[in-house]
Copies of this chain bind each other. A is one copy, B any other.
């Protein structure tokens, strides 16, 4: 039984790199905003600070979502799946934009006619979000 005696962090089945996938879902609309990765520190801090904090595999460091964009994800609820190897965050997305392209969700490419077609609008120019430094 998960969580009965074990510490909540050690109950998680981290992968060979010490990471788990974390899905961010809009707590109100149910829309899936993004998927990123967490190490143990990121998950612990997510709970401690009540906001989504990921681990950037490319930058190899913690990524406080919104640190450069202001698009913080306020935490409502955390769930774990039956295999204890995927995290689900229910969040409020500040600014209504989760994606670095300026879209609400990162999943804006839809398969249609066997092509990935962008179907969601850019709500804000990334230059305006990141000041051209992204």
Shortest C-beta distance, A81 to chain B (Å), equals 4
Copies of this chain: 2
Q: Is A124 on the interface with B (CB-CB < 8 A)? A: no
Number of residues on chain A facing chain B (CB within 8 A): 39
Bound-complex Cα distance A99 to B2 (A):
16
Chain A contact residues, CB within 8 Å of chain B = 2-4, 8, 11, 21, 23, 25, 29-32, 34-35, 47, 77-84, 86, 88, 99-101, 103, 106-111, 114-117
Instruction: Give 10 CB contacts A-B under 8 Å.
Output: A2-B116, A11-B116, A29-B30, A79-B107, A79-B111, A81-B106, A81-B109, A82-B99, A82-B103, A82-B106
Given A3-B109, A80-B116, 19 new contacts (CB under 8 A): A2-B109, A3-B116, A3-B117, A8-B111, A8-B115, A21-B21, A25-B32, A30-B30, A30-B31, A78-B110, A78-B111, A79-B107, A80-B111, A81-B106, A81-B109, A82-B100, A83-B106, A84-B109, A84-B116
